[in-house]
Amino acid sequence: MSEVSSEASEVVILERCWIVEFRSKTNVSIVLKFQSGEPDLYLEAASKPDCESWAVALGEANSEGLQNKIQQLRRLIMEIKEERSSDEAQQFLPSSQADSLGEPQFTSIRRIANEPKLEFSLACKDLVAATRDRKLNTFIQVSVVHPAEHILTRYSSTEIVEGTRDPLFLTGVTFPPEYPIYEETKIKLTVYDVKDKSQDTVRTSVLPDHKEPRADVGRSFLGCTTFRVGDLVKSKEQQLTLTLRTSDGGKTVGTIEVNLVKMGELEDGETDHITTDTQDQKCALVRECTATEGISDKDNLPSLNAVLKNPICKLYRFPTSDNKWMRIREQMAETTLSFHVPKELINLHIKEDMRRNQELKDLGELAPHWDNMRKSVIAHCDQMLSMYQDTLAELGKHTGSSFKSSCSKGEKTLEFIPINLHLQRMHVHSPRLKDALYDVITVGAPAAHFQGFKNGGLRKLLSKFEAERRNTGYQCIYYSPENTAKAKEVLSNINHLQPLISSHADLLLNSASQHSPDSLKNSLKMLSEKTELFVHAFKDQLVRSALLALYTARPGCVLKKPAVPRNSAEEGSDLQHQDHPSQIKRQDSIPHHSEYDEEEWDRVWANVGKSLNCVIAMVDRLLEKDSISSIKEGENDPSAADCKVLRTDGDWYEQLYPLVITLKDCMGEVVTRAKQSMAFVLLQELACGLPQCLMLTLRRDIVFSQALAGLVCGFIIKLHTGLHDQGFLQQLHTVGLLVQYEGLLSTYSEEAGMLEDMAVGISDLQKVMFKVIEAKSEDFLPVITGRREHYVIEVQLPAKMFELLPQEIKEGKLLRMYPVLFNVGINEQQTLAERFGDTTLQENINQENLELLKEYYKLFTEKMPPDCLPHFQEQNDLKGLLENLHQNIQAKKRKNVEIMWLAATICRKLNGVRFTCCKSAKDRTSMSVTLEQCSILRDEHQLHKDFFIRALDCMRSRQTQGALNESDDPETGCLTDNKPTSRHFYPVALLLVSSHLLVVWLILSLALLLAKYQ
């Protein structure tokens, strides 16, 4: 064996022997042991691969192995003959028809729109164990053979059923609408006996498809069988009973029953003796509780497909308390909004920042101190603007999946994208209860992971920054956040109203030139409304005080002291009556009337109203003359009346034109002064905190972008599911939509910073408004307009769906959002926070959001009738639930998950949207969602109490996730993310044993933290 080409030196007869292969990397020997007691035979190979190949060859060198190979070859020959016969049949077709076929033609499966293509359940009978006393723990692995490729692809697995030879599996098999499955597709079912359940959970997803698992890894092969999809679909009983055979095809090891889950049929059969009963239980069509026949599922498809992508479906059947079957279809889908919403937002940020930079440049000439400040601010803003543009360009290049996995949460180019944003949907069909649908949006906590949490999150950073801004000294003027927000609002109103007023003024002149009284009246009405809004926008003390401050910043303004006026933060207060301790007296900081006329601004913006009154008076006079002349013209010759009209055409236009021009000029002067004054306010905000101010704005934009993407997804899904619920639609435009976030972050280490980011991001969603419009094209993606702190999301619906909306929504009424966040840390880091850290952050957040929830409930009870609420089997009074939630928050109990359950129940009863978040939307999120789903099945759909744990195990089993790749699976993501971020968290119980150990732990933890942040 030392040389490949050497002659045979000895012949060994292998009979009743077995092979022992050494597993070490250095040993390349094989030992043959004989049952007859003859001496062992040692064989040595040249290398380890040669040794392994010899071991395989010797293992197959026996009569039984040869017989198995012969039988396998016979089966392959039969399959090849069947394929050739179908190919030969095609050769007899006419040449034109054969050419038209081209690629192989496969028979599609008839299905309902937007429903899975194929679903079936599985059960086994009379399984044969390797030993008579062995109790089987079995599961079925499902693989698909695609007819075009003839490649075996692992698709999914059932759960493990323990201790029976007649297992009935609660987990079924479902193929989503987009899956390429045809009647010619073959499905292979392989049954395994699990020896070590914990081992198998890990190993089943890493074995290659073409190899059977070794018996020593925790499971053993029992048998397999194959069937065509067409045979199942066309079978009379909608059921196949197949024989399980060993891999060589010789020995029968039991039978397996495949029951087609046919949509629309009621199930028959009881669930008595569930471990042995495998009779035909048909599945009913799962429908949403709000569905009616007013609109077909086909009409819903375009708008939903524009938002949801790559659905993954799972099918279950669980027994109810009255021994009936209920069917559950679980669906998880990605959303294109994960990237669409951030790109839209970044584009708006770029436009807003470019406009702000131009407004700063248009401030005019400033004194050297202020001019240097402006140059510094513009330079920093240009750098930030360039960063936004680069990020948008990188996102435009992104291809691949439509969600960001947890492995990418630290990537700079993806920091605006939410983590693992998915829809988790559960359809429930119960035999005696109304069908129902339950949605939860799962997403990683909105947070700036790339920027890190060394100094905390937004909640702490914003508070610290505001305190520092109050003590900036004389370099700039302090304006409160309220005043700064007011300045941005004034600028936004100017940019919005000025072009509208100008266009309405042109329409007024056009109506005058056409001598159209009705059109003139309508144009005047619109011009008056917009001008009144324009004038009202400047009735604010902030504009007057900012104009005075800007005057002092002009060159040539000589003051008695070189100090800059310091404006108090109180909006609406006069500068002459401020008592701020650092406020400089009037005669030292503000010029006298001889230098600056404080009443000039009042005269300027008042001239706009006066000009409008002149226009109104002239229009009234012209219309009055027209009515009088028309009466006289009716008594005279018609030809003379025509001449009169021609003469008055020029009169109307000529008389209105100078008044309209005066109105435009007055408005232009107001716009110029107001823009400059408000831009000066924004200059102070930026100058007081460079570069921290811009970095905080960036961080807030990142967090808000992630939060908004999830909110838009939740709103669109809720709107589609509630489109036929008139009570919900009335609540939507009368009160608004409740959005409840369930946070599972701890208040320890970096997750405390994530929670601070998340709290601010969700709070900012209060300023978002939604508007539903009719789609004018096939593009149904939402459109975002507005500016920071004031965004409007326009959701597009097809015409048939849009017609179902109330008149108020169709007319464009803005819909308000009421986001609330309740957080309860549940991991080991929260244990450390509760024992050695601080949980004040969590307590404050829960208390603040409880008040917001109470406000929404109060508003709801005042404006809505109680019968519009959804009805549940578990009838709990909303007021009592709120009181119970209040008591649990006040109790400050450790890891009080009752807060989560109460908040979720209140949200569902108030027609709200549910979110569940942890750091990466993986482990903690999946545990929470599956527990909530099983609890709903128990409380609302009478899930049998003895099957609660088994149902929970089915939903949490990684085996049933099927053909998901680890890189694409949001519940798996990056494997290293399953571990704690910091690895110095030792068991707390051990540390409590001795105070010495506690001291050592604290020292080690401090050392590791210092090393990490250096």
CA distances from 924 to 838, 957, 984 (A): 21, 14, 20
Helix (H) or strand (E) holding 342: helix 337-361
Tokens of 855: 């406000």
- Which secondary structure element, helix H or strand E, spans residue 710, and what is its range? helix 692-721
811, burial (CB in 10 Å: exposed 0-12, middle 13-18, buried 19+): exposed
CB 921 within 8 A of CB 970: yes
Residue 115 to residue 118: CA distance in whole angstroms: 9
* Residue 400 backbone class (left: φ over 0; alpha: ψ -120 to 50; beta: rest): left
Three-state SS for 44-98 is ECCCHHHHHHHHHHHHHCCHHHHHHHHHHHHHHHHHHHHHHHHHHHHHCCCHHHH
Encoded tokens for 589: 């900081």
Strand, coil or helix: 288: coil
Tokens 């500068």: give the residue. Answer: 575
Please give the angle made by the CA atoms of 384, 1014 and 445, to the nearest 5 degrees: 55
Q: Which long-range contacts (CB under 8 A, 24 or more apart) does 108-114 make?
A: 108/182, 108/183, 109/181, 109/182, 109/183, 109/229, 109/233, 111/177, 111/263, 112/263, 112/264, 112/285, 112/297, 113/296, 113/297, 113/298, 113/301, 114/177, 114/297, 114/298, 114/300, 114/301, 114/304
Q: Which of 124, 381, 918, 934 does the annotation list as catalytic? A: 918
Which residues make beta-bridge pairs with 424?
Answer: 332, 440
The DSSP string of 145-171 is: E-TTT--EEEEEE---EES-SS-B-SB
643 is catalytic: no
**Strand 308-319 to 325-335 pairing:** antiparallel
777 CB-near residues (< 8 Å, 6+ apart): none
Query: What whole-number distance in Å separates Cα of residue 381 and Cα of residue 360?
Result: 11
Q: Residue 364 — φ and ψ, nearest 5°? A: 90, -165
The CB density around residue 313, as the number of other CB atoms within 10 Å, is 24
Are 942 and 320 a contacting pair, CB within 8 Å? Answer: yes
3-state secondary structure of 38: coil
**Structure tokens of 603?**
């005269």
Give the dihedral sign, CA 284/956/935/852: negative
- Residues 643 and 624: beta-carbon distance below 8 Å: no
Q: Is 754 helix (H, G, I), strand (E, B) or coil?
A: helix
Q: Which helix (H) or strand (E) holds 736?
A: none
Amino acid at 416: F
Termini Cα distance of the chain:
59
Query: 252-260 and 239-245: which strand pairing?
Result: antiparallel
The string of DSSP letters for 543-568 reads: HHHHHHHHHHTSTT---SSSPPP---
Number of Cβ within 10 Å of residue 683's Cβ equals: 24
Report the C-alpha gap between 548 and 561 in whole angstroms: 16
Residues acting as catalytic residues: 918
